[in-house]
C-alpha cells in the first residue's frame, strides 16, 4: 500500500515534469533517424573504374572478383583516368594483354590507404590467377556461418536500449533523489512510519516503467513483432533495475547533484565506452569487456538478431538481478545511515 | 512523553559538540518551548527527537520509544511541522496531504478538513509551487496533523505568517493541546513562546541554561516596575516606579489618587530580556 502510494506519487511527479516528454521525444527522434536516415548498410567501398581489353568476356568475372558495390567499365585507360578525376573517391584498373600475358595496372588517386590498395590488389590478382589457370592458394574460412546480416540501422537499437532505456535510471534516479533532498521532502518522508527501502524501490520501479515504455516503443517500431519479447523484457527489466541501483548508490553517497555530477559523468562515460568494441570488435580489451554494459549490448543483439546463444541472454538477466540485489542492500544501508 | 538525559551530539564526530549534556523532560499534555538563537542547538535537539539525526550519546525516550533502538511505529504517534516549507511543488495541496496520509498505519484526518482548518480549502487543487511561503508553511503545518499526533513537534510554526493567520495557527495549537496533545515548540520568537508555552527551556551554545514557566522566569528575573503616563499642569510626563521600593510605591499611590494618570503598564521582563540577562546574547 505504502509502496503503491510512493509509486503513484513518483509517476505523478514525473508526468508533471518535462521528463516524460523528453523520453518520448528521444524515442521518436531515435526511431525516425533509424528508420529514415540511417541506411541498411554503411559502405566505404569506392567505385572502381575499369578498362578491360576483353571487356565482353571478362566483365562479369572482374565484377565478381572485385567484390565492390559498383564497377564501371570504360573503353580506354584515358577514359578511366578522366572519370576518376571527376570522382575523386574512385579507383581505376586497366587490364590489357601484352605478348599473351595479362598486364594489370592499378590507378589510384594518391591518398588511398595501403590497406585498401592491398585488398584491391589481392582481389584482382586472385581473379587473374584463376583466369590464367593457377589456383589461388588462399581460402576464407567463416567461423560463425550463422551470424545474421544485421542492417546498420537496426544494429543501432541495442546501443539505444542500453544507453537510453536500461541506463536511463542511472542518471535520472539520482537527480530525483537530490531534488527530494533539496526540497526537503525527504525529511518529511523520514518522519513517517514508511520504510527507506520502500522509498528507494518506488523510484526504481518508476524508472523500470520508463525503460519499458522507451524500449518497447523503439523496438516494436523498428523490429516489429518478430522478436522474442519475453527474453527482451527480462533483459530490459533486469538491466533497468541495475542501472537504477547504480543511480541510488550515487544519490546515497552524495548530498547534492552538484557534488555527485563529476562521478556521474565519469561513470556514464565509462559505461558508454563499450559502444566502441560493439562497432569495432577488433578493439575489445579486457578492461572494456568487464564493464557491465559490454555483455548487455551483445545480449540485446542476441535477443534482436538471434544466433541461438540464449545462454548469453539468461546469464545477463541473472547477473544483473544478482548485482542489483547487492547494490540495493548497499543503497539501503547508505540511506539508513544518512537519509536527509 | 519526552525524556532526554545527558544528550550530546557532534556533527563532525569529534569534541566539537552542537548539543552538550542536554537534559529535560516534557509531561503529557504540556506545551514545552525550546528557545534559543540560531545555531544554539535547537534544531539538532529536535532532529534527534524526531529521528532525523542519529542518537550518538545520551538517553532519549519519545512517547515511550527508546531512540537507541529506532522503531518506525514511533512515527505513527508523532507529527512534525518543519520550518522549511518542504512540500512537493508539482503536486497540489490536497495531493500532498493524500500522499502522506497513505504512509501512516493509524487512522488519519481528512486532508480537506485539515486544509480548511488552516484556511487553504480554496487552494486545495492548486499546485504547491504556486503557493506563497506562508501558504506552504500552513500546508506543512496541516500535514503534521494528519495522524492526530500524540506528540507534536513544531518548528517556528508562525514564522512568515501575517498576524491574523498566525493567530489562527496559535488557536489550533491551543485547541489540540486542550485535547491532550503534547507539544514541543522550537522557536526564537519569545512572544509565541510566552503566549503558548507552559514551560520554556533556554538553550545557548548547545547547553540548556534555564527551564521554567514563563511566569516564574519573569518573576525571578524581571524588575517589578510600573510605567505610568500622567498630566501635570498640562504637560505629559512618563515615569517608571518600582513596586518593591516603599517611597516609589507611595508616590504611585498618590498619583493614582490624583486621577491624572492616562496610561499605566506593568513592566515585567520579556523572555528575550531574561535570555539576554542569562546568556549575554539576544534570541535573533
Give B51's contacts in chain A (Cβ within 8 Å). Answer: 190-191
Question: What average pLDDT score do residues B1-15 get?
Answer: 90
C-alpha–C-alpha distance, residues A163 and A278, integer Å: 13
For residue A25, give how far its alpha carbon lies from the nearest alpha carbon of chain B (Å). 22
Give the model's pLDDT for residue A130.
63
Q: Does A185 touch chain B (CB under 8 A)?
A: yes
Neighbouring C-beta atoms of residue A122, cutoff 10 Å: 13
Question: What average pLDDT score do residues B182-203 get?
Answer: 91
Asked if A191 and B102 come within 8 Å (Cβ–Cβ), the reply is no
Domains of chain A: 2-39+151-337 (no CATH), 48-131 (3.40.190)
Asked if B90 and A13 come within 8 Å (Cβ–Cβ), the reply is yes
Q: pLDDT above 90 covers what percent of chain A? A: 29
Instruction: Name the E strands within chain A.
Output: 48-52, 71-74, 91-98, 101-107
A37-53 as b/e: b if 16+ CB within 10 A: eeeeeeeeebbbbbbbe
For residue A189, give how far its alpha carbon lies from the nearest alpha carbon of chain B (Å). 8
Average pLDDT value over all residues in chain B = 90
C-alpha–C-alpha distance, residues B19 and B7, integer Å: 7
For residue B214, give how far its alpha carbon lies from the nearest alpha carbon of chain A (Å). 30
Question: What average pLDDT score do residues A14-25 get?
Answer: 82
Characterize the bridge pairing of strands B57-62 and B2-9. antiparallel
Q: Does A18 touch chain B (CB under 8 A)?
A: no
Q: Which of A252-266, B5-19, B68-82 has the lowest mean pLDDT?
A: A252-266
Length of chain B, please? 284
Question: For A230-248, what is each residue's pLDDT tens digit?
Answer: 999 999 999 999 999 999 9
Question: For A132-187, what is each residue's pLDDT tens digit?
Answer: 655 545 555 555 555 566 777 788 899 998 888 777 788 888 888 998 998 899 99
Asked if B72 and A195 come within 8 Å (Cβ–Cβ), the reply is yes
Of B91, B104, B140, the CB nearest to A192: B104
Using CB atoms within 10 Å of the CB of residue A162, give its burial: 0 to 12 exposed, 13 to 18 middle, 19+ buried.
buried
Amino acid at each position: 500500500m505504502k509502496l503503491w502510494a510512493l509509486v503513484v506519487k513518483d509517476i505523478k511527479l514525473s508526468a508533471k515534469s518535462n521528463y516524460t516528454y523528453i523520453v518520448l521525444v528521444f524515442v521518436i527522434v531515435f526511431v525516425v533517424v533509424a528508420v529514415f536516415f540511417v541506411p541498411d548498410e554503411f559502405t566505404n567501398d569506392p567505385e572502381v573504374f575499369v578498362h578491360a581489353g576483353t571487356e565482353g568476356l571478362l566483365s562479369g568475372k572482374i565484377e565478381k572478383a572485385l567484390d565492390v558495390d559498383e564497377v564501371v567499365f570504360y573503353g580506354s585507360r584515358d577514359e578511366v583516368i578522366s572519370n576518376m578525376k571527376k570522382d575523386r573517391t574512385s579507383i581505376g584498373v586497366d587490364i590489357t594483354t601484352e605478348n599473351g600475358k595479362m598486364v594489370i595496372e592499378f590507378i589510384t588517386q594518391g591518398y588511398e590507404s595501403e590497406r585498401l590498395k592491398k585488398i584491391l590488389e589481392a582481389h584482382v590478382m586472385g581473379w587473374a590467377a584463376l583466369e590464367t589457370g593457377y589456383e589461388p592458394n588462399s581460402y576464407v574460412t567463416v567461423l560463425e556461418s550463422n551470424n545474421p546480416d544485421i542492417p546498420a540501422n537496426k544494429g543501432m537499437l541495442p546501443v539505444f536500449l542500453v544507453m537510453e532505456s536500461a541506463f536511463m535510471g542511472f542518471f535520472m534516479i539520482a537527480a530525483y533523489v537530490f531534488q527530494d533532498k533539496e526540497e526537503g521532502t525527504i525529511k518529511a518522508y523520514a518522519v513517517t512510519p514508511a520504510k527507506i527501502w520502500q522509498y528507494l524501490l518506488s523510484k526504481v520501479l518508476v524508472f523500470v516503467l520508463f525503460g519499458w515504455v522507451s524500449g518497447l516503443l523503439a523496438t516494436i517500431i523498428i523490429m516489429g513483432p518478430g522478436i522474442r519479447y519475453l527474453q527482451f523484457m527480462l533483459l530490459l527489466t533486469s538491466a533497468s533495475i541495475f542501472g537504477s541501483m547504480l543511480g541510488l548508490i550515487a544519490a546515497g553517497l552524495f548530498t547534492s547533484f552538484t557534488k555527485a555530477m563529476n562521478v556521474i559523468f565519469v561513470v556514464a562515460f565509462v559505461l558508454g565506452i563499450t559502444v566502441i568494441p560493439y562497432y569495432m570488435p577488433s578493439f575489445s580489451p579486457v578492461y572494456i569487456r568487464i564493464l557491465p554494459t559490454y555483455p548487455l549490448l551483445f545480449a540485446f543483439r542476441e535477443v534482436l538478431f538471434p544466433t541461438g546463444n540464449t545462454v548469453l541472454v539468461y546469464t545477463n538477466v541473472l547477473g544483473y538481478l544478482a548485482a542489483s540485489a547487492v547494490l540495493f542492500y548497499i543503497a539501503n544501508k547508505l540511506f539508513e545511515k544518512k537519509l536527509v | 512523553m519526552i525524556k532526554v538525559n545527558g544528550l550530546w551530539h557532534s556533527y563532525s564526530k569529534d569534541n566539537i559538540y552542537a548539543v552538550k549534556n542536554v537534559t529535560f523532560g516534557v509531561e503529557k499534555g504540556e506545551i514545552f518551548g525550546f528557545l534559543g538563537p540560531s545555531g544554539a542547538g535547537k534544531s539538532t535537539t529536535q532532529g534527534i527527537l524526531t529521528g532525523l539525526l542519529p542518537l550518538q550519546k545520551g538517553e532519549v525516550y519519545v512517547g515511550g520509544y527508546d531512540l537507541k533502538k529506532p522503531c518506525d511505529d514511533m512515527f505513527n504517534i508523532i507529527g512534525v511541522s518543519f520550518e522549511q516549507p518542504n512540500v512537493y511543488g508539482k503536486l497540489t495541496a490536497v495531493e500532498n496531504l493524500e500522499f502522506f496520509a497513505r504512509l501512516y498505519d493509524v487512522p488519519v484526518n481528512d486532508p480537506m478538513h485539515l486544509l480548511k482548518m488552516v484556511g487553504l480549502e480554496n487552494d486545495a487543487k492548486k499546485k504547491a509551487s504556486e503557493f506563497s511561503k506562508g501558504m506552504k508553511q500552513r500546508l506543512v503545518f496541516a500535514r503534521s496533523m494528519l495522524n492526530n499526533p500524540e506528540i507534536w513537534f513544531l518548528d517556528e510554526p508562525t514564522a512568515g505568517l501575517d498576524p491574523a493567520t498566525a493567530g489562527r495557527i496559535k488557536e489550533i495549537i491551543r485547541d489540540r493541546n486542550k485535547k491532550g496533545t503534547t507539544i514541543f515548540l522550537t522557536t526564537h520568537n519569545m512572544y509565541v513562546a510566552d503566549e503558548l508555552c507552559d514551560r520554556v527551556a533556554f538553550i545557548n551554545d548547545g547547553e540548556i541554561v534555564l527551564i521554567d514557566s514563563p511566569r516564574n522566569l519573569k518573576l525571578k528575573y524581571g524588575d517589578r516596575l510600573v510605567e505610568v503616563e500622567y498630566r501635570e499642569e498640562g504637560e505629559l510626563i512618563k515615569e517608571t516606579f518600582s513596586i518593591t521600593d516603599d517611597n516609589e510605591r507611595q508616590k504611585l499611590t498618590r498619583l493614582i489618587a490624583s486621577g491624572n494618570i492616562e496610561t499605566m503598564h506593568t513592566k515585567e521582563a520579556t523572555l528575550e530580556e531574561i535570555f539576554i540577562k542569562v546568556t549575554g546574547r539576544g534570541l535573533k
